[in-house]
Amino acid sequence: MVVTFYMRLLLIGCGNVGKAFVKLLAMKKEYLESNNIDLKLCGILTSKGGLYEPLGLDCHSLYKYLEGQGCLSNHPLYNEEVDISFFIEKGMDAVVLATPTNKDTGEPGIGYIHRSLESGLHVITADKGPVLLAYKELKEIAIKNNVQLGIGCTTGGALPAINAGLIDLAGADIYKIQGVLNGTTNFIIDEMEENSLSYEEALKKAQNLGIAETNPALDVEGWDTATKLLILSNVLMRSNKTLKDIKVEGITRLTVNELQEARNEGRKYKLIGTALKKHTSVEISVKLEQIDDSSEFYPVSGKNKAVKYYSDTLGELTVIGGASGVIPAAASLLRDILNICTK
Ligand SMILES: NC(=O)c1ccc[n+]([C@@H]2O[C@H](COP(=O)([O-])OP(=O)(O)OC[C@H]3O[C@@H](n4cnc5c(N)ncnc54)[C@H](OP(=O)(O)O)[C@@H]3O)[C@@H](O)[C@H]2O)c1
């Protein structure tokens, strides 16, 4: 195989998204080889220990193992002594971060990203906390060390929200961002509207299908939408807001009656986040809104999401799709890695 791009990866966090990333590397082995890209997953780190294989872990057998046993700590290569310093000394090229999002402290993600960028490693993160709380500082560290910080997964996973704003609207002034940014709430509202399920029944269905998390508070109370919108507006509008600056409403008070009344009048409910630039300030809100078929968000159904940008010189741009799920989330991490490789 002629190798054009080669990267030794460390995966930090091996829960739903981390495991999906291992599975995806196995699924995409031939695709990557045929594109002369050699991504070697050389390490996995969790809070209690990890795996290291200098020649690259066999992702196919590792995924099968994890699927069967679900437990990294029983793997023959498992070593509880390893930490981030160990892997940095071993000479990784990039870190894929899939640790839990903490919207109040950004940890453990901020610490890992800081350390990795300072050590000259690219970072591709699914963890939204560090981007929400420390993007500017982390980006500066990345630039200083001539490495990249990939954040495509943090603003809707497979939905190319941040990349559309950064790449496709480069040079334009984005003065308004609107989005249906949470697939779980969109799915729940659809189930209530189309199948007349109560909020509780629809939530249960989403949990049974693995769409909603066991603790769905971040999704259904609107904080996940607020977090994604805040990242988009802080990065693309260069605002400096925090979650405390946002009025956030969730979907928990919504009833089937309200949905049916709206439907009779040709309208749908969507949980919509809006960031509006007014002179030098940005106003941000997340609320349940009724829309009709004149809105681009009207056909955004099920687990899908959408973002709409309003800009001065490149006009309006709407992106729809990016259905929620762990493989799409992992695929958005791979997308950022490949974009770094081919830059
Ligand atoms: N699920 C999705 O569809 C989706 C989509 C986009 C983005 N995300 C984001 O992706 C991230 C991961 O989500 P997930 O659903 O995979 O979470 P998860 O299932 O809770 O997995 C988190 C992983 O991080 C590990 N971890 C926790 N603390 C750690 C530490 N201090 N050092 C190293 N590893 C640590 C956990 O293992 P130990 O506790 O054993 O250490 C676990 O392996 C989250 O930030 C989430 O917001 C998820």
Measured CA to CA, the distance from residue 231 to residue 122 in angstroms comes to 19
- Residue 283 Cα to ligand 1 midpoint, Å, equals 31
- Residue 109 Cα to ligand 1 midpoint, Å, equals 10
Q: What is the pLDDT of residue 209?
A: 85
Q: What is the pLDDT of residue 211?
A: 82
Q: Residue 215 above 90 pLDDT?
A: no
Give the range among 157-166, 204-213, 226-235, 259-268 with minimum mean pLDDT: 204-213
Does ligand 1 lie within 6 Å of residue 101's CB atom? Answer: yes
CA 99 to chain CA mean position, Å: 12
Residue with the nearest Cα to atom 18 of ligand 1?
A: 15
Atom of ligand 1 nearest to the CA of 48: 41
Q: Which among 306, 303, 300 has a CA at the least distance from the CA of 318? A: 306
- End-to-end, the C-alpha distance of the chain in Å comes to 21
- 3 state DSSP class of 228: helix
Contacts of residue 305, Cβ cutoff 8 Å, sequence gap at least 6: 156, 159, 161, 179, 180, 181, 182, 183, 186, 320, 321, 322, 323, 324
Q: Residue 1 above 90 pLDDT?
A: no
Q: Residue 70 above 80 pLDDT?
A: no
Q: Residue 179 above 90 pLDDT?
A: yes
Does ligand 1 lie within 6 Å of residue 4's CB atom? Answer: no
- Residue 12 Cα to ligand 1 midpoint, Å, equals 8
Where residue 204 falls among pLDDT bands split at 50, 70, 90? Answer: very high
The pLDDT of 313-330, averaged and rounded, is 95
Q: What is the pLDDT of residue 260?
A: 95
Residue among 71, 99, 110, 209 whose CB has most ligand 1 atoms within 8 A, to mutate:
99
Q: What is the pLDDT of residue 213?
A: 72
Examine the residue annotation and report whether 228 is marked as an active-site residue of this protein: yes
Q: What tokens does 12 get? A: 């930090």
- Residue 252 Cα to ligand 1 midpoint, Å, equals 25
The average confidence (pLDDT) of the chain is 95
Atom of ligand 1 nearest to the CA of 108: 31
Does ligand 1 lie within 6 Å of residue 45's CB atom? Answer: yes
Does ligand 1 lie within 6 Å of residue 13's CB atom? Answer: yes
Where residue 177 falls among pLDDT bands split at 50, 70, 90? Answer: very high
Over the stretch 74-117, which tens digit does the pLDDT of each residue have? Answer: 999 999 999 999 999 999 999 999 999 998 999 999 999 999 99
Q: What is the pLDDT of residue 134?
A: 96
Q: Which among 159, 170, 169 has a CA at the least distance from the CA of 335? A: 159
Whether the full predicted model's pTM is greater than 0.85, yes or no, is: yes
Q: What is the pLDDT of residue 83?
A: 98
Where residue 343 falls among pLDDT bands split at 50, 70, 90? Answer: confident
The runs of H, that is alpha helices, within 123-181 are 129-144, 161-163
Residue of higher predicted confidence among 84 and 3 = 84
Where residue 13 falls among pLDDT bands split at 50, 70, 90? Answer: very high
Q: Residue 4 above 90 pLDDT?
A: no
Does ligand 1 lie within 6 Å of residue 99's CB atom? Answer: yes
